Chains A and B, each alone.
Chain A
Amino acid sequence: MRERPAPRPHPLVELTRARLLEFVREPEAVFWVFVFPVLLALALGIAFRTRPPERLRAVVVRGTPGAARVAALLAGAPDLDVAVLDAAAAARALRTSRADVVVDAGPDRQDVPLAVTYRYDLTRAEGRAARLAVDDALERALGRRDRLAAREEPVTAPGTRYIDFLIPGLVGLNLMGSGMWGLGFAVVQARTRKLLKRFAATPMRRSHYLLSFILSRLVGLVLEVAVVVGFGWLLFGVAVRGSILALAAVAFLGSLTFAGIGLLVAARPRTVEGVSGWMNLVQLPMWLASGSFFSYERFPAAARPLIRALPLTALNDALRAVINDGAPLAATAHELLVMAAWAAVSFALALRLFRWQ
């Protein structure tokens, strides 16, 4: 009656395999993890692509004695678009940022050839640049002699574009999202379906169950990073300047960290709705503050130590150091430490708090 079967596979291997099969058979999950970040990179890459320098826009107010003369003097200026409008239209153009500077030419005086008033927004860099450009063009046209011999050498260094900044941020964001959602949803779903309880009734080791999630994440992470980085490289020429090994190590630790946090968030909730709320609560601050889309240097200095302690900030900084700056792994020690601390604490807590039924 009791025949010895062939050597059985290890439960950890089987659990991981089941986890991966369930993932690839869920088309929506595949979309959010692989297609969505690529679309996001594409959209942002196009929106913020490097364009030829924008021309500055100046408006000359019609109806003043010097208006016609100023317009004529500016006509030959490079980098400047010049329009002549009446006072009301000029004011409106300035208000709605369709003009960078408004030039109001007062009456010719005997002692000076021409007097003008510049109206522009001091807080806008374009306003200040346009004011200087108009002034420079007028002075030149009126016969100013320059005493400095200056030569121009335009530079566009790779690694300084927005897309170069963005790609590592997207990799980080993706690792956070798929780690937390992938784990959190699967665990809570298994709990509501009483599958966790069913597993608990077998001799399955509970650590094997939790470990299988980590292992399946590691398989997924290789693909996730490769898709986004490969896409950035093919379409936008974003190169990985550091070693692939360093990139793998950073992504591995980041993935582990968010798997731990995802497990912690999913340790107790009984419903998918419940866990979604917590996931959003945990992720939202990092979406905003951790420098995925824009540098966190824009936040007040007082807030920065706090932001740098967030796991996604650490991951993003480490990814940028490796991808953009070609830094060795040792240079990211601080970030790796922050992530390791988050991973260790959240795993330990998750194991303690985990609810099996």
Chain B
Amino acid sequence: MTRKPHGDRVPLPANGVAVRCAGLVKRYEDVTAVAGLDLEVAQGECFGLLGPNGAGKTTTVEVLEGLTPPDEGVVEVLGCRWGSGRDHELRERLGVQLQETQLGEKLTVEETLRLFASFFARSRPVGEVIATVELEEKRRARVGKLSGGQKQRLALACALVSDPDMLFLDEPTTGLDPQARLRVWDVVERFRARGGTVLLTTHAMEEASRLCDRVAIMDRGRILTLGRPAALVAALGVDQIVEFRARGEVAAERLAALPGVRGAVRTDDAWQLSVRRIDEALPALLGELERCGVALESLATHQATLEDVFVSLTGRALRDA
């Protein structure tokens, strides 16, 4: 086989666009996983697809990775279209971490990375990548003996071993404890600091707000809204979210009409009020509950987050959608 020196790599597109996708549709038998999706990711950007399970995030990413052909629409990654004869060159430049890939349990960390490195015309030294994901101590440990967080960092290392221009991460921290999560975020941030582009999916809003320059909130195969995390939250026009549980019936219209309150949404067994002025809303709420003869069970307030953006758009909570 021929190996190209690294100067022969396809140059990055001059327009600064890393991913462009327009009118993307993907159907599986009777389910439409992605129903007309448009998005653009700039070079050097970290872009997040945020949404509940089944929103179509993974399907979208697998189409972008060239693993699944789309039914309709245009997909361009780093200026190339899949199937136009440059797939091989394109794969040289992408780092991919799939959701729930189980790497061979009998190989060691080092052996696994050597294997992945051998697939690429250009690769980083294995030891260096191991250091990047802080697995030096596990270098000779078998994959089967690693913890969940270590396995995830190894998967990340497999994606980074080729020194890619762009990283695709599908739920990189799902199922990890907070500490393991922080270490993964750290690796992603260091990749970005070197000028890499990242597209990740997540259903954790704090991950999206911390890592992403922009996020697209997805539900049922569509993008509901797209923008900078802070801007999306600001667009809600609320300060605080008041979440409470009460024993008895309260009318949503009456809650929404309370002074200082912008809206009321019922999620399962709790109420969520979007509140503009907490100093006005809280006494009014307590007064209203008393008037209705409803006993308060619990009450909490927090700053509005991306999660609340999702709730206000869908009327459902992200975690149980």
Chain B nearest CB from A296 CB (Å) reads: 39
Cβ contact within 8 Å between A22 and B104: yes
6 A-B pairs besides A2-B163, A190-B104, A202-B162 with CB distance below 8 A are A1-B194, A17-B111, A18-B111, A22-B104, A194-B98, A201-B94
Interface string of A178-198 (1 = CB under 8 A from B): 000000000000100111011
Contacts of A2 in B (CB 8 A): 6, 122, 163
9 shortest A-B CB distances, which residue pairs? A193-B102, A14-B118, A204-B119, A25-B106, A201-B96, A203-B91, A202-B119, A11-B118, A22-B106
Q: Which residues of A contact B84 (CB under 8 A)?
A: none
A42 to B210, CA, bound (A): 66
Chain A: number of interface residues, binned into ranges:
20 to 34
Bound: A14/B119 CA distance, A: 9
Give the residues in chain A near B100, CB-CB below 8 Å.
194
Using A5-B124, A21-B107 as known contacts, say yes or no to A202 and B101 having CB atoms under 8 A apart. Answer: no
Decide if A298 is an interface residue (CB 8 Å cutoff). Answer: no
Produce 1/0 per residue, B118-131, CB < 8 A to A.
11111111000000
28 A-B pairs with C-beta separation under 8 A: A2-B6, A2-B163, A3-B125, A4-B6, A5-B122, A5-B124, A5-B125, A10-B118, A11-B119, A13-B118, A14-B114, A14-B115, A15-B118, A22-B104, A22-B107, A26-B106, A190-B104, A193-B101, A194-B101, A195-B104, A197-B98, A199-B119, A200-B67, A201-B66, A201-B91, A202-B119, A202-B162, A205-B1
A64 within 8 A of B: no
CB of B92 within 8 Å of the partner chain:
yes
**A158 CB-CB contact with B under 8 Å:** no
Chain A residue at minimal CB-CB distance from B100: A194
Determine the distance from Cα of A188 to Cα of B10 in the docked complex, in whole angstroms. Answer: 35
Cα distance A4–B103 in the bound complex, in angstroms: 27
Partner of A203, one of B98, B107, B121, B163: B121
In the assembled complex, which residues on chain B have CB atoms less than 8 Å from the CB atom of A195?
101-104
Which of A3, A4, A18, A197 contacts B115 (CB under 8 A)? A18
Q: Judge if A9 is at the interface, Cβ distance under 8 Å.
A: yes
Once A21-B106, A193-B101, A197-B101 are accepted as A-B contacts, the answer to whether A203 and B119 lie under 8 Å apart by CB is yes
Q: Name the residue of chain A whose CB is nearest to the CB of B97.
A: A198
Q: Is B117 an interface residue (CB 8 A)?
A: yes
- Whether a CB of chain A sits under 8 angstroms from the CB of B88 is yes
Chain A positions within 8 Å of B308 at CB level: none
Question: With contacts A5-B124, A194-B102 known, is A201 near B118, CB below 8 A?
Answer: no
Q: Which residues of A contact B6 (CB under 8 A)?
A: 2, 4
Residues of chain A within 8 A of B115, CB atoms compared: 14-15, 18
- For the complex, is B116 an interface residue (Cβ under 8 Å from A)? yes
Instruction: Give the chain B neighbours of A276 by CB distance below 8 A.
Output: none
Candidates B1, B98, B102, B107; contact of A201 at CB < 8 Å: B98
Check A271 for interface membership: any CB of B closer than 8 A.
no
Contact partners of A11 in chain B: CB under 8 A: 118-119
Indicate if A51 sits at the interface (CB-CB under 8 A). Answer: no
Instruction: For chain B, give the interface size range.
Output: 35 or more
Nearest CB in chain B to that of A186: its residue: B104
B219 interfacial by beta-carbon distance below 8 Å: no
A residues near B (Cβ < 8 Å) are 1-6, 8-11, 13-15, 17-18, 21-22, 25-26, 190, 193-195, 197-205, 357
CA distance A197 to B118 in the complex (A): 17
Contacts of B118 in A (CB 8 A): 8-11, 13-15
Q: How far is the CA of A15 from the CA of B121 in the complex (A)?
A: 15
Determine the chain A residues whose CB is within 8 A of the CB of B207 once the complex forms: none
Return chain A residues, CB-CB under 8 Å to B307.
none
Residues of B within 8 A of A25 (CB): 106, 142
Please indicate the chain A residues that have their CB under 8 angstroms from the CB of B88 in the complex: 203
Q: CA A1 – CA B125 in complex, angstroms?
A: 12
Q: Are B104 and A18 in contact (CB under 8 A)?
A: yes
B91, B103, B115: residue with the most chain A Cβ atoms closer than 10 Å: B115
- CB-defined contacts of A205 to chain B, threshold 8 Å: 1
Residues of A within 8 A of B194 (CB): 1
* Residue in chain A with minimal CB distance to B112: A18
* Chain A residues within 8 Å of B116, by CB: 202
Contact at A5–B123, with CB atoms within 8 Å?
Answer: yes
Query: What's the Cα separation between A205 and B111 when bound, in Å?
Result: 19
Contact flag A8-B98 (CB < 8 Å), given A195-B104, A357-B67 = no
Cα distance A25–B107 in the bound complex, in angstroms: 9
Within 8 A of A (CB), among B108-151: 111, 114-125, 142
Residues of chain A within 8 A (CB-CB) of B102 are 193-195
Shortest CB–CB separation between residue B4 and chain A, in angstroms?
11
In the complex, whether B65 has a CB less than 8 A from a CB of chain A is: yes
Q: How far is the CA of A15 from the CA of B119 in the complex (A)?
A: 9
A306 to B10, CA, bound (A): 56
A5 to B118, CA, bound (A): 12
What residues of chain A lie closer than 8 Å to B124, measured between beta carbons? 3, 5
A145 to B115, CA, bound (A): 85
Q: Cα distance A290–B62 when bound, in Å?
A: 46
Chain B residues within an 8 Å CB radius of A194: 98, 100-102
When distances are taken between beta carbons in the complex, the residues of chain B under 8 Å from A357 are 67
- In whole angstroms, what is the CA distance A198 to B6 when docked? 23
Annotate B12-31 by CB proximity to A: 1 below 8 A, 0 otherwise: 00000000000000000000
Cα of A5 to Cα of B114 in the assembled complex, Å: 12
